[in-house]
Amino acid sequence: MANPEYSGHLCHRIYDLSALREAGVRLPDTPLETGLKVHLKSLGYL
């Protein structure tokens, strides 16, 4: 990956990632529900 320091921004967006996938970009594979639970737990809500 050319700029791995920028890959994290994909984890916080919900939109069509098919163009990135077709370009060969490695996408996060964390299910939305799991990601939201981890985020809420880190904020102290769970």
pLDDT(13) > 70: no
Structure tokens at 19: 């163009």
pTM above 0.85, yes or no: no
Let me know the angle formed at the C-alpha of 29 by 25 and 16, rounded to the nearest 5 degrees.
60
Report the range of poorest mean pLDDT among 5-9, 21-25, 32-36. Answer: 5-9
Confidence (pLDDT) at 35: 87
Domain locations in the chain as residue ranges: 4-42
| Interatomic CA distance for residues 16 and 20, integer angstroms | 9
**Looking up tokens 């098919």, which residue turns up?**
18
| Long-range contacts of 17-23, Cβ-Cβ distance < 8 Å, separation of 24 or more | none
pLDDT(7) > 70: no
